[in-house]
Structure 1
């Protein structure tokens, strides 16, 4: 009996043309990570569950996939292995385990799949790629690193051409200091921050209602909190003016303001135009994990997509694994979700799904010429497919078009009898006849310079 081929829900499996676009996006991300001096690491998909779940709990723990062998299942044995659900916990384990062998600050990037038992719904994945960069220090980490990450993100999205986007930046110390000034206890402040983080998704009225009815804040305090969180600016000059206008004497407020000034100044010096940066006091990042600078990135024309890249500063990466003090700052792109969203809004890019050149086979006696041209093209790093299946020229040209090839080389009996091969540019709808030994150079010039064959 045949089994119906199918995939489970919550995975992103792509056909070749979309896979080529996905790979292009991934390559651009990795290129900019490397350009900023980050080192690639690769951690196991399977971790010891005791290590993986040493800190996390609640909803995250409920989404973990545990790993068990068939023998273990048969014996009803419990599993001590689990699939990673993010790249941050494996990083913390990695840095702690190899602490004595690493140099600090340790700048790493990681592009790997993670796994979560998400409820099946549109745009949510059980298996997905994350692209993370983090800078981890030992005891101290200069605030300038908080500026380097959004500069890298700006370079990535600018090259990808996703349209106008904005990196929203804040510092959690600002709101902490403001809430201190209102006399709110630390435990209540954490709950208030989580609700402020919902302003963009749930709206002002919803957040006000929760602050008043569930957290017990008075009307005056609620209005002050919302008024503070709704301040923003989209220029460096405006951001500095906004910071200058803050009132209050709380140490956290002063520290947050000083750090933000330093971060914004460094971002500007590294060449990011002010219209791509927003100082936004509503950005909190819901996790208490973050203690200072926080980031979220949105495509301006598609705010409903939510943040496409987020992260922030944390005080101690691996306190559950080591007594060493390891402050850091990191940012993450959910690549699978991002690509799914971009595809949904019609994103296009110049990506090739297969060979850029197809060499047709019309007569098996001409194979030596075809193989020679293929070898010379491949030596120039030009992906080439020799269509050994043969058949009519029309069939092979259709295959070339469907597979995304740009050039077709025709070396049939008639061409060789005349001492030439034909090169057809499918993109520009042009064709030339040329000596076989000159064909590889002609194709290489046309592909690498985006010029014509003539």
Structure 2
């Protein structure tokens, strides 16, 4: 049989790695729910025309089709790729497009503002590389309004993320930096200096971290028709950053006046003021953060791991005023998305976080001989009935071999059944060697040993 080659871009974690991923997911979910976000799950597919309407032409959509037999009708249907874009189904490449559709379809049953979290797999047909996959997990939160949505939700978004990652610091996850900007600042400033292609300028400035200021300046002149003075002013705006509201004064010092610019500066100041109280040093203003997608209209966010900035953003999002609309009603929103797979891959690859054991079992119940296996199974059943995960030794090997089996799997305790019907047995902590008489109807493991945990690695 030929060797099976792995598929690039489709990660499959080991059991121990899954423990780490599950802990990250559980922490995110728990934090989101502490802030009042209700969980939903949407279907994995959307009509192709809906996926393409978002305008992310750089993202390759995986199409969904079924194999047709020779005797089946060859006609377009919901599972065929032979019809129009409206007939064709594609796997969703993010969770925002499904959310917009979900809100439109269920608006009559939702209470607004609608606060939701959603943790699901998504698929993108792009070239796999460090931190970029074809199949990966995202964890999103969004608040959707009906007609209007107050600005304070834009302040809330990065604070929720700061809270979630603060809870992950104890297991070895590095500190994060959430960079924030406001598209109104950029748009108002560009209008104020006379640049007409605002969206094109935003997309160009968004390339600063990838190609540098000189190349961005050349693109502004060549593609956006900017003069040397306009390009210099746009780059001067993008160079402003800071953790306090002095950034507002530095923008005003550039001498550009525009009503939209002033509105954006006021909103950014409100966000930074809140951040200085709730998450000091975590949230910073960075006016080169543009988020190249056209639908963002207010605050935008990008998050990096401190010391791992080369990985790129692990969490991003922003305000959008008209992503979801039925032509009569508009549902503005603000959201942010954690790239869970990108985050977990770096934590594992750099040895920053590790699982305490690879199996759920806290106890291995030993077997003296095969005839006594029913007694071992009874003990295991009694422990499980009390919520203690355990398993029974696979063979009645010598006790030393059974202990080594438990040790290899990270199981902390081995239970030795009594060899007479009247006794209850003893349990041994194989890490310390401590061994004590124990009753399966009353014994409890240490709280930290009950389930697999996650701790900082050796890196």
Would you say same fold, with TM above 0.5?
A: yes
Q: Aligned residue pairs: how many? A: 437
* Pair 395,65 (structure 1): closer, same or farther in 2 beyond 3 Å: same
d(CA) in 2 for partners of 1:290, 1:352? 43
2:314 pairs, out of 308, 313, 320, with 308
Q: CA RMSD in A?
A: 2.7
Query: How far off its partner does 1:322 sit?
Result: 4.5
Alignment-derived partner of residue 360 in structure 1: 366
Any idea what SS the aligned residue of 1:291 has?
Answer: strand
2:69 and 2:322 map into 1 onto residues whose CA distance is 37
SS across alignment from 1:311: strand
Partner of 1:10: 9
Q: Work out which of the residue numbers 336, 342, 346 in structure 1 matches 2:347.
A: 342
Contact 2:176 / 2:306 at 8 angstroms: preserved in 1? yes
Which range is displaced more, 93-102 or 370-379?
A: 370-379
CA positional deviation for 1:242? 4.7
Distance 1:310 1:72, change over 3 A: farther
Q: Structure 1 CA distance, aligned partners of 2:176 and 2:447?
A: 35
Listed as ranges, the matches of 1:221-370 within 5 Å are: 221-234=230-243, 236=244, 238-239=246-247, 242=250, 247-269=255-277, 271-272=278-279, 274-319=280-325, 321-350=326-355, 352-354=357-359, 355-370=361-376
What residue in structure 1 maps to residue 133 of structure 2? 125
Structure-1 separation of matches of 2:108 and 2:231:
48
Q: Which structure 1 segments of 5+ residues have no match?
A: none
Does the Cα contact within 8 Å between 2:362 and 2:450 map onto a contact in 1? no
**1:131–1:359 CA distance, 2 compared to 1 (3 A):** same
Alpha carbons of structure 1 residues 388 and 311: separation in structure 2 relative to 1, 3 Å: same
Correspondence 1:37 to 2:36? yes
Q: Secondary structure at the match of 2:319?
A: strand
Residue in structure 1 matched with residue 64 of structure 2 by the alignment: 67
Residue 108 (structure 1) shift: 0.8
Matches of 1:40 and 1:373 in 2, distance apart? 38
CA–CA distance in 2 between the matches of 1:111 and 1:362?
46
Q: Is this contact kept in 2: 1:362–1:412, CA < 8 A?
A: no
Could you list the per-position Cα deviations for residues 112-148 of structure 1 after superposition, in whole angstroms to 9, with x for gaps in the alignment?
Answer: 1111211244432111111111100011111111122
2: CA distance between counterparts of 1:18 and 1:12?
11
- Say whether residues 1:193 and 2:173 are aligned partners: no
Instruction: Kindly indicate which of the two structures has a greater share of residues assigned to helix.
Output: 1
3-state DSSP of counterpart to 1:397 = helix
Cα separation, 2, equivalents of 1:401 and 1:353: 11
Mean Cα deviation higher: 368-377 or 382-391? 368-377
Q: Name segments (4+ residues, structure 1) moved above 6 Å.
A: none
When residues 122 and 237 of structure 1 are mapped into structure 2, their CA distance, relative to the original with a 3 A threshold, is closer
Q: CA separation of 1:141/1:349 partners in 2, compared to 1, >3 Å: closer, same or farther?
A: farther
CA contact (8 A) 2:418 2:424 kept: no
Match of 1:183 among 194, 198, 205: 194
Q: In the TM superposition, what is the alpha-carbon distance from 1:266 to its structure 2 partner? A: 3.4
**Contact kept in structure 2, 1:232 and 1:278, CA below 8 Å:** yes
Report deviation, 1:172: 1.0
* Equivalent of 1:436 in 426, 439, 448: 439
> Partners of 1:89 and 1:149 in 2: how far apart?
19
